[in-house]
Amino acid sequence: MGERRIRGWHFTLQDVEIAVTNNQLLMLDLECSNLCNLSCPYCFRDEYAEQHVALPDEMTVEERFDLLEQAKALGCRSIKIVGAGEPLIDLLFWQQAEKCVDLGMTVMVNTNGITLGEREVARLNELGASVILKFHSFDPEINDFMVDRKGYSAYRDRALKLLIDAGFNRDTPTRLGFGSIVTRQNVDGVFGMYKYCVENNIFPLFKTWLPKGGTWNFRDWIPSVESLRTLQEKISEYENQHWAQGFNRCTPYFGGFSCMQLHYSLYVDIQANVFHCVGDAEPMGSLRRQTLAELWDHPHVLKIKGRTYKGCPKRAGVVPRTVAEAEDADLPKRAVG
């Protein structure tokens, strides 16, 4: 049995090795509009504006299509839509998703599920898309508190039922995931969510604190070292009981998934700025001045994508080393310069 995976983000170590050798882009993290129907206190995208409203210089549909074509030319296989706001209320979302599929790429969308009805679920299913649903706790009070909206859990639970009824978790790899940030408020319940995911073929994307933007204003939400260590040990013990080959990997993502995105992906925000990773504070450039290929060969990217690293470099100094440390990926080295 291999790592826990979701369609679109299920690259094998061999896939990554080949991509590094061939300088191939496998995945693109991409934002939709900044418009959002939640105001999660921990959201680092508050750096755009005080409110989650559409920005005046967001990429047009033509710019988004051109970006997707450039990504495909670099070998991209998956587009992971990560924000900036709620993708499903972006008026250009469906055109963008359909363009991905037309180009032969898998679409993954992170959503809070508020506007996810039967029609939207059916449309996503037709596109073969994967959905990562915001899911912080089975306790409605904790879940609602973490997104600062009373009653949100009812929307989430309705969306989850629709996705399960539509069969998103019946595929292999699954096309359904839970996305959560581990905080002091929900840390005691994360193991229960993890077990639920494993038992129901749902991808557990439970991640540690990303020190960026508005998250710094809620540093008291960061769990203690002891609670994170306990959680990781419980998950590791559970996985060792279910995986014949054993399990000892650690975060930034808890459980059977190790992040190697710095080897094969880029992140593009809604204003066409390009970063190596969502955790970077400053962009490497802009698609309004450079091509995606030029930025894929940026010195910052070349410096790290052919090298090994432990844990999440972007979380260094915030997440305890004993928890953030991960196995080195045994990847071929690519010359820099």
- pTM of the full structure: 0.91
CB neighbours of 15 closer than 8 A, spacing ≥ 6? 26
- Is residue 250 packed enough to be buried (19+ CB in 10 Å), middle (13-18) or exposed (0-12)? buried
**Predicted pLDDT at 95:** 98
**Predicted pLDDT at 47:** 62
CB neighbours of 126 closer than 8 A, spacing ≥ 6? none
Give the number of other Cβ atoms within 10 Å of residue 198's Cβ.
18
Whether the predicted pLDDT of 163 surpasses 60: yes
pLDDT tens-digit map of 52-70: 889 989 999 999 999 999 9
Confidence of residue 322 (pLDDT cuts 50, 70, 90): very low
Winning range, highest mean pLDDT, from 255-259, 306-310, 320-324: 255-259
Which domains, ranges and CATH numbers included, belong to the chain?
Answer: 13-324 (3.20.20.70)
